[in-house]
Structure 1
Amino acid sequence: MTDENRQPLEETPEVADAVEDDVAVSAFVTGGGPDSDNPEFLEPGAEPAVRTGAEQEWEPVDLALAEGRDPTPENIERARRELERDGAAAIERTVP
């Protein structure tokens, strides 16, 4: 088929069939639960259930890796001092 005889994609029967198809795609159906289009709203004054990275136990090597550093003895020692000095705030800065 030459370029002169080509039909624009928008005018092909396959596209027309797809446009007329109103069937929902099961992968996109959320079942009506909360999602980015249908958020769940809290009552006024209600506290959200928020979990942060600092709620679990952190080893200095974990903090060094989370900061993108190699787990060398120097980086692990720096992370240990940071955890001792700042506690959960050291983690929150890196993994909120």
Structure 2
Amino acid sequence: MPTSQPDSSSPSDDRATPDTLLHTGSEGPVTAEDMVLAAGRDLSPKNLAWAERKLREDGPTAIERLLP
């Protein structure tokens, strides 16, 4: 009987990323680039300066505020 579920052996673009592959940066140092990308912003000098300021003010936990 056919199902509406995709075959789990083939990758699909519409599937969510498994939790085991997601991380917030706590496994290593958080960079300004990480902050900018987590905020959904472009990697521009202005946005990198914003991220560097946030990291100075809040430390590595600053990225936690941007991620669900």
TM normalised by structure 1 equals 0.42
- Measured after TM superposition, the shift of residue 63 of structure 1 is 0.6
Query: 28, 43, 52: which one pairs with 1:80?
Result: 52
How many matched pairs?
Answer: 47
Gap regions ≥5 residues in structure 1 = 1-17, 19-26, 28-51
Secondary structure of residue in 1 paired with 2:34: helix
TM normalised by structure 2 equals 0.57
Larger Rg: 1
Higher relative contact order (CA 8 A, sep 6+): 2
Distance 1:95 1:57 in 2: 16
Query: 67, 73, 90: which one pairs with 2:39?
Result: 67
Give every structure 1 segment of 4 or more consecutive aligned residues whose post-TM-superposition deviation is greater than 6 Å: none
Query: 40, 47, 53: which one pairs with 2:24?
Result: 53
Gap regions ≥5 residues in structure 2 = 2-7, 9-22
Higher helix share: 1
- Measured after TM superposition, the shift of residue 88 of structure 1 is 2.5
2:57 maps to a residue whose letter is: R
